[in-house]
Amino acid sequence: MNNAAIQEIARADPALHSDASLRPESVSAASECCAWCGLPVWTAFGGRSRVQPEKNLAAAIADDDRSGLHDVYCCFGCRLAHGISEERSQGGFVRGTVVRLGLAVFFAMNLMAFTMVSWSPDVYGNVSESSSSRLLEVFRWLSMLLSLPVLLLLGIPLLQNAFISLRQRIFSTDLLIALGITAAYIVSAWNVVQGSGAVYFEVGATVLVMVTLGRWLEAVGRQKATESIDTLSALLPATALKLSAAGTEEITSAEISAGDRLQIRPGDRFPTDGRVRTGQTTVDEQIFTGESTPVAKSSGDTVLGGTVNLDGLVVVESISPFRSGSFGRLLTLMQEARLSRGHYQLLADRISAWFLPLIVIVAGVTLLGHLRSGIGEAIQHSLSVLLIACPCALGLATPLAVWTALSTAMRRQVLFRSGEAIERLADVEAICFDKTGTLTTGTPQVLRTCVLNAQCECEVLALASELAGSSNHPFSQAIRRLSASRPDAQNRVNQRLGDVRSVPGQGVEALRSNGTRMRLGSVGYAFAESAMTPGRRMLLTRILATADQEAASIVALSVRDEPVAVFVLTETLRPDAARALRQCADLGLHLTVLTGDRAAQAEQLRENLLSSDFANQASSTEPFCPIALTVESELKPEEKVTRLFQLREQRGRVAMVGDGVNDAPALVASDAGIAMGCGADVSRESAQVCLLTSELDRIPWAIRLARRTRSVIRQNLIWAFGYNSVGVAFAAAGLLNPVVAAALMIVSSLLVISNSMRLLADESPERGLS
For 669-720, write each residue's pLDDT tens digit.
Answer: 899 989 887 654 554 567 788 888 888 989 999 999 999 999 998 898 888 8
Domain boundary among 529, 548, 572: 572
pLDDT at 597 > cutoff 90: no
Q: Which of 62, 81, 87 is nearest to 11 (CA)?
A: 62
pLDDT at 663: 75
Q: What integer is the mean pLDDT of 568-596?
A: 89
Angle ∠(456,462,468) on CA atoms, nearest 5? 135
| pTM of the full structure | 0.68
pLDDT at 26 > cutoff 50: no
d(CA 229, CA 406): 9
Residues 512 and 551 in one domain: yes
Q: Is 204 inside a domain boundary? A: no
Residues 449 and 564 in one domain: yes
Domain boundary among 548, 572, 596: 572
Catalytic residues: 434
Torsion 472-474-475-480 (CA) sign: positive
pLDDT at 298: 87
Reported confidence tier of residue 157, pLDDT bands at 50, 70, 90: confident
Answer with the residue of higher pLDDT: 241 or 197.
Answer: 241
Q: Is 732 inside a domain boundary? A: no
Q: Is 694 inside a domain boundary? A: yes
pLDDT at 587: 93
Q: What integer is the mean pLDDT of 525-537?
A: 80
Reported confidence tier of residue 527, pLDDT bands at 50, 70, 90: confident
Q: What integer is the mean pLDDT of 427-449?
A: 86
The answer to whether 440 touches 572, Cβ cutoff 8 Å, is yes
pLDDT at 57: 32
The answer to whether 407 touches 226, Cβ cutoff 8 Å, is yes
Residues 459 and 564 in one domain: yes
Which residues constitute the domain of residue 519? 442-572
pLDDT at 734 > cutoff 80: yes
pLDDT at 6: 34
Residues 566 and 449 in one domain: yes
DSSP reduced 3-state for 26: coil
pLDDT at 388 > cutoff 70: yes
The answer to whether 417 touches 675, Cβ cutoff 8 Å, is no
Residues 432 and 581 in one domain: yes
Answer with the residue of higher pLDDT: 10 or 200.
Answer: 200
Q: Is 260 inside a domain boundary? A: yes
Choice among 205-214, 215-224, 720-729 with the minimum mean pLDDT: 215-224
pLDDT at 56: 36
Reported confidence tier of residue 61, pLDDT bands at 50, 70, 90: very low
Contacts of residue 191, Cβ cutoff 8 Å, sequence gap at least 6:
197, 198, 199, 376
pLDDT at 466 > cutoff 70: yes
Domain boundary among 517, 542, 572: 572
Where residue 288 sits, what CATH number does that domain have?
A: 2.70.150.10
pLDDT at 13 > cutoff 50: no
Q: Is 97 inside a domain boundary? A: no
Residues 278 and 425 in one domain: no
pLDDT at 639: 86
d(CA 18, CA 51): 10
pLDDT at 55: 35
Contacts of residue 610, Cβ cutoff 8 Å, sequence gap at least 6:
578, 626, 627, 629
pLDDT at 199 > cutoff 70: yes
Where residue 475 sits, what CATH number does that domain have?
A: 3.40.1110.10
Residues 586 and 689 in one domain: yes
Q: Is 596 inside a domain boundary? A: yes
Q: In 209-256, where do the E strands start and end?
A: 239-244, 247-252
d(CA 703, CA 769): 9
d(CA 724, CA 715): 14
Answer with the residue of higher pLDDT: 686 or 122.
Answer: 686
Q: What integer is the mean pLDDT of 104-133?
A: 65
Answer with the residue of higher pLDDT: 679 or 221.
Answer: 221
SS3 track for 46-66: HCCCCCCCCCEHHHHHHHHHH
Residues 556 and 583 in one domain: no
Reported confidence tier of residue 656, pLDDT bands at 50, 70, 90: very high
Contacts of residue 284, Cβ cutoff 8 Å, sequence gap at least 6:
292, 294, 295, 307, 308, 310
Answer with the residue of higher pLDDT: 241 or 214.
Answer: 241
Radius of gyration of the chain (CA): 35
pLDDT at 233: 66
Residues 654 and 631 in one domain: yes
Q: Is 458 inside a domain boundary? A: yes
Contacts of residue 607, Cβ cutoff 8 Å, sequence gap at least 6:
none
Residues 551 and 664 in one domain: no
Can you say whether residue 662 is alpha, beta or left, with left for phi > 0 and alpha for psi between -120 and 50 degrees? alpha
pLDDT > 70 in the chain, percent: 72
Q: What integer is the mean pLDDT of 348-361?
A: 73
Answer with the residue of higher pLDDT: 437 or 640.
Answer: 640
Q: What integer is the mean pLDDT of 303-331?
A: 82
Choice among 53-57, 430-434, 466-470 with the minimum mean pLDDT: 53-57
Give residue-wise pLDDT tens across range 645-654. 999 999 999 9
User: Quick one: how far is CA 660 from the chain centroid?
Assistant: 18
Q: Is 85 inside a domain boundary? A: no
Residue 422: count other Cβ atoms within 10 Å of its Cβ: 31
Residues 583 and 687 in one domain: yes
pLDDT > 90 in the chain, percent: 8
pLDDT at 699: 93
Answer with the residue of higher pLDDT: 184 or 310.
Answer: 310
pLDDT at 340 > cutoff 70: no
* Average confidence score pLDDT of the chain: 75
Give residue-wise pLDDT tens across range 404-415. 888 888 888 888
pLDDT at 644: 92
Reported confidence tier of residue 49, pLDDT bands at 50, 70, 90: very low
Number of folded domains in the chain?
A: 3
Residues 611 and 626 in one domain: yes
